[in-house]
Amino acid sequence: MTNPWTGEAALVIDGQRRVLKLTLGALAELEQTLEAGSLVDLVQRFESGGFSARDVLALIAAGLRGGGNDMAPADLARADIVGGPLAAARVAAELLARAFVVPAP
């Protein structure tokens, strides 16, 4: 079970349900990895639909590490994600939103 109040989301990767969460360290890493001027820039990319597959992969990888699932980005790139790229993009956007917005009750 995920807890949206703590920023968690879930994704089934290689047949295993994994909990993802963006920690403060993961957010700082994302800024550097994705060469985003700020997290606001990254949020705007997702809100405008201007995100890339690289953005999605980096967010999912960071979320996995924050959720205690250490998976190398290269392994994630080859993994089978239930729902495919669309599900991965949805969860990436959800993680980013949950890092900054309290969920509705």
Q: In the 8-state DSSP scheme, what is residue 26?
A: H
Mention every residue, 6+ apart, whose C-beta is less than 8 A from residue 70.
64
pLDDT at position 51 = 87
In the prediction, which pLDDT does 82 show? Answer: 97
Residue whose entry in the numeric block shows the structure tokens 């403060």: 24
- Domain coordinates in residue numbering, the chain: 4-98
In which residue ranges of the chain is pLDDT below 50? none
- The predicted structure's pLDDT at residue 103: 64
Q: What is the pLDDT of residue 37?
A: 73
**pTM (predicted TM-score):** 0.87
pLDDT computed for residue 102 by the predictor: 65
pLDDT score at 105:
65
CA distance linking residue 11 with residue 16, whole number of Å: 8
Those residues with Cβ within 8 angstroms of residue 83's Cβ, 6 or more apart along the chain or in another chain: 12, 90
Type of residue at 41? D
Residue 12 β-bridge partners: 17
Give residue 45's pLDDT.
Answer: 82
